[in-house]
Chain A
Amino acid sequence: MSEHTRGLSGGPVSRRTFLSTAGLTTAGAAATVAGFPAIVRAQTREVKVGYLLPVTGPLAYEAGLALNGLALAVDEINASGGIKSLGGAKITMMPGDTQNKVELGNSEASRLIDQGAVAIIGPFSSLVAFSVRQVTEKNKTPFLLLAAVADNLTEGGLKYIFRMQPNGRGMATLTVNNMFEMAKNANVPIKRVAMMHEDGNFGTTMGNHVEAFSKTMGYELVQRIPYNLRSPDLTSELSKVKAARPDLLIVSGYYGDSKLIAETAAKLRIGVSALVGLANAAYSNPKFIAENRELTEHLFDGNYWYNPQSARARAVFAAYQKKFGSTMANHGVQGYQVTFVLKDALERAASTDRDKIRDAIAKTNLSDQILTQDAIRFDDSGEGINATPALIQVQNGKPVVVGPARFAEAKPVFPVPKWKG
Chain B
Amino acid sequence: MIARAAGALAVAALVALPPLLPKYHLEVLISVLFWAYLGIAWNLLGGYAGQFSFGHAAFFGIGAYTSTLLLLQVGLTPWVGMVLGGALAAAFGLFEGYLSFRYGLKGPYFSLVTLAFAEMLRVVGVNTKAVGSSLGLVVPSTRAAPEMFMFSGKLPYYYIILAMGALALALTWKIGRSRLGFSLAAVRENEDAAETAGVDALATKLRAMALSSFLTALGGTFYAQYFAYIDPTISFGPGVSIGALLPAIVGGAGTVLGPVLGSFVLTPLSELTRYVLRGRAGADIMLYGAILVLVISFLPQGIVGLVRERRARAGRR
Do any CB atoms of chain A lie under 8 A from CB atoms of chain B in the complex?
Answer: yes
Residues of A whose CB lies within 8 Å of any CB of B are: 2, 5-6, 8-10, 18, 21-22, 24-25, 27, 30, 33-34, 55-56, 60, 63-64, 95-97, 99, 101-104, 106-107, 110-111, 113-115, 127, 130-131, 134-135, 137-139, 150, 152, 156-158, 199-201, 203-205, 208, 226
Residues of B within 8 A of A134 (CB): 141-142, 228
When distances are taken between beta carbons in the complex, the residues of chain A under 8 Å from B141 are 134
30 contacts between A and B (CB under 8 A): A5-B281, A6-B279, A22-B272, A22-B276, A24-B22, A27-B13, A27-B17, A55-B278, A55-B281, A56-B284, A63-B281, A64-B281, A95-B278, A95-B279, A97-B278, A104-B274, A107-B27, A113-B23, A113-B24, A114-B23, A114-B25, A127-B234, A134-B141, A138-B152, A139-B23, A158-B142, A199-B127, A201-B231, A203-B134, A204-B133
Within 8 A of A (CB), among B175-232: 227-229, 231
Does A18 contact B279, Cβ atoms closer than 8 Å? no
Residue of A at shortest CB range from B141?
A134
Over the window 285-307 of chain B, the binary record of Cβ atoms lying under 8 Å from chain A Cβ atoms (1 yes, 0 no) is 10000000000000000000000
**B204: min CB distance to chain A, Å:** 34
In the assembly, what is the distance between CA of A158 and CA of B272, in Å?
32
Closest beta carbon of chain B to A48's beta carbon, Å: 14
Please, how many angstroms separate the alpha-carbon atoms of A216 and B144 in the complex? 40
Contact: B134 with A10, CB < 8 Å?
no
Q: Select A131's contact among B134, B228, B278, beta carbons within 8 Å.
A: B228
B274 touches A204 (CB 8 A): no
CB–CB B31/A107 < 8 A = yes
Is the C-beta of B28 less than 8 angstroms from some C-beta in chain A? yes
**Chain A contacts of B280 at CB under 8 A?**
2, 5
Inter-chain contact A30/B24, CB cutoff 8 Å: no
- Whether B21 is near chain A, meaning CB under 8 Å from some CB there, is yes
Contacting pair A137 B135 (CB below 8 A) = no
Pick the residue among A9, A152, A157, A205 that contacts B278 (CB under 8 A): A9
Q: How many Å from the CB of A17 to the closest CB on chain B?
A: 10
* Cβ–Cβ < 8 Å partners of A55 in chain B: 278-279, 281
A30 x B20 contact (CB < 8 A): yes
Output the least CB separation between A136 and chain B (Å): 11
B282 within 8 A of A: yes
Q: Does B114 contact A (CB under 8 A)?
A: no
In contact, B21 and A102 (Cβ under 8 angstroms): no
- Bound-complex Cα distance A64 to B282 (A): 13
Assess whether B28 is in contact with A9, with CB atoms less than 8 Å apart.
Answer: no
Check A114–B142 contact: CB distance below 8 A: no
6 A-B pairs closest in CB distance: A9-B279, A130-B229, A111-B24, A204-B134, A107-B27, A110-B23
Sample of 16 further A-B pairs with CB below 8 A, known A103-B227, A199-B127, A201-B136: A5-B281, A6-B279, A8-B279, A21-B24, A22-B272, A27-B13, A30-B21, A30-B22, A102-B229, A102-B234, A107-B31, A130-B227, A158-B142, A199-B133, A201-B231, A226-B134
Residues in B neighbouring A64, C-beta threshold 8 A = 281
- Chain B 215-265 residues near chain A, CB threshold 8 A: 227-229, 231, 233-234, 239
**Cα of A107 to Cα of B20 in the assembled complex, Å:** 17
